[in-house]
Structure 1
């Protein structure tokens, strides 16, 4: 199992971390990496293009396959043109749906206020376009020069960390969410399992476990409070009929316990 996790992590480190879902795995690069180890074709990363498909073939010792085609022109490094999202701000209605959809938190804004894209962080994943109800988001070519391999790796690591921070925050909100979920349902258990032994990857914790523990604690506290209140009322009623030093001392003790529990 450890060998498989290590291989999944090696594959994931070759993927561009756009978290775009164009490979068919809408919850990010890591699930695609896992699927590759289970036999899925390693040429489906559209933004990675032929360089990533070839690197994966070498790592896995598989035949080289032609990369899935992109809608954008191919650059001199063999990868598709990097695109960036731009919001036409005068048309933005501040619905926040693009903010929820962005996997790397590259969009700033608030409800009923204008939104803006942080161009340096945008991966061009296109996930913000479909949820926009007024179609005010465009994709434009990235004007920056092609990054060096060292810079590309640093950018991928940063994007991975941002996505995992996004996942962690969304996981904490998930159980209390009442509005629509714009992104695909994320398999947080998978991310938690595959990040726990990687020193270079932020570890994901599953909020549901914490929620269960909290719910158990809350339930126990509620039961204890109910018992205390019942005992206090019974003693107060008894003492109103006939005073008793022992029962009055017990009443004071129960009242202190109730106060300690914050009730």
Structure 2
């Protein structure tokens, strides 16, 4: 098991830490690293492009595969063009949905007040776009110079740190919320295992609610239906921005689940 953990850490170190989910793993780079170590293809990191696919192939001693294509042009370093999200601030209604969606806490603002994106921290992951009810977020090219390898590694380490902090905060908020919580199914145990082995990232605790909640069958079905509808809505918005076969399959599966539950209720 220790050798597997070491391998996952090495794979995770090569991933760009945008936490974008374009590889099909909605809860960040680490779960994809774990899946790669267990045999999944190592060419699905869209923002990493061919350089990351090749580096992973070399690490794993596997055949080199063509990287998943990006909709953005390729930079001089072989990676897709770096993008940044910007808010058309005059149109922002201050709903705060984009703040919760940002995996690296690059968006600031308060309820019913204008929001802004800290472009130096934005990874261009696109996750803030689907939740926005007024579609006031755009993606623009990052016109800064392509970073050196040292700057890239420093940035990746910082983004990983910010994402672990984000998960820890969201986990604490989850415990204090009333009613069902709709969010990505974060594998908290996996993140906790890795954060405990490194001083470079905030430690993640596995927290569980102590109160026991009894839910009737009808109430449980209602909650499940609400969650599925929310996930479908998000996937539909994401697919309107960028077509993705994995997300399309998820949408089809969720639609089937929704129909089955509605038919049974």
Deviations 1:115-173 (A, max 9, x none): 00000000000000000000000000001111100000000000000000000000111
1:22-101 superposed matches below 5 A: 22-101=22-101
Structure 1 residue 78: Cα displacement = 0.4
Query: Which SS does the other structure have where 1:204 is aligned?
Result: coil
1:237 equivalent in structure 2: none
Query: Which SS does the other structure have where 1:138 is aligned?
Result: strand
Structure 1 residue 206: Cα displacement = 1.5
Q: What is the distance in 2 between the residues matched to 1:104 and 1:201? A: 13
Structure 1 residue 179: Cα displacement = 7.4
Query: Which SS does the other structure have where 2:45 is aligned?
Result: coil
Deviations 1:173-214 (A, max 9, x none): 112224775641211111112222234333211122xx54xx
Q: What is the distance in 1 between the residues matched to 2:116 and 2:46? A: 26
Q: Answer yes or no: is the 8 Å Cα contact 2:98–2:129 preserved in 1.
A: yes
Deviations 1:204-254 (A, max 9, x none): 11122xx54xx69xxxxxxxxxxxxxxxxxxxxxxxxxxxxxxxxxxxxxx
1:251 equivalent in structure 2: none
Q: Answer yes or no: is the 8 Å Cα contact 2:168–2:204 preserved in 1.
A: yes
Query: Which SS does the other structure have where 2:193 is aligned?
Result: helix
Q: What is the distance in 2 between the residues matched to 1:191 and 1:109? A: 27
1:125-144 superposed matches below 5 A: 125-144=125-144
Q: What is the distance in 2 between the residues matched to 1:62 and 1:165? A: 33
Q: What is the distance in 2 between the residues matched to 1:141 and 1:181? A: 34
After TM superposition, the score normalised by the length of structure 2 is 0.77
Query: Which SS does the other structure have where 1:47 is aligned?
Result: coil
Deviations 1:12-47 (A, max 9, x none): 010000000000000000000000011000000000
Query: Which SS does the other structure have where 2:176 is aligned?
Result: coil
Q: Answer yes or no: is the 8 Å Cα contact 2:161–2:200 preserved in 1.
A: no
Structure 1, unaligned runs of 5 or more: 217-263
Query: Which SS does the other structure have where 1:200 is aligned?
Result: coil
Aligned residues: 212
| Distance of aligned partners of 1:196 and 1:134 in 2 relative to their CA distance in 1, 3 Å threshold | same
2:160 equivalent in structure 1: 160
Q: What RMSD, in angstroms, separates the aligned Cα atoms of the two structures?
A: 1.6
Q: What is the distance in 2 between the residues matched to 1:89 and 1:6? A: 44
Structure 2, unaligned runs of 5 or more: 213-265
1:111 equivalent in structure 2: 111
1:206 equivalent in structure 2: 206
Q: What is the distance in 1 between the residues matched to 2:182 and 2:127? A: 9
| Distance of aligned partners of 1:167 and 1:118 in 2 relative to their CA distance in 1, 3 Å threshold | same
Q: What is the distance in 1 between the residues matched to 2:203 and 2:142? A: 31
Q: What is the distance in 2 between the residues matched to 1:43 and 1:152? A: 19
After TM superposition, the score normalised by the length of structure 1 is 0.77
1:11 equivalent in structure 2: 11
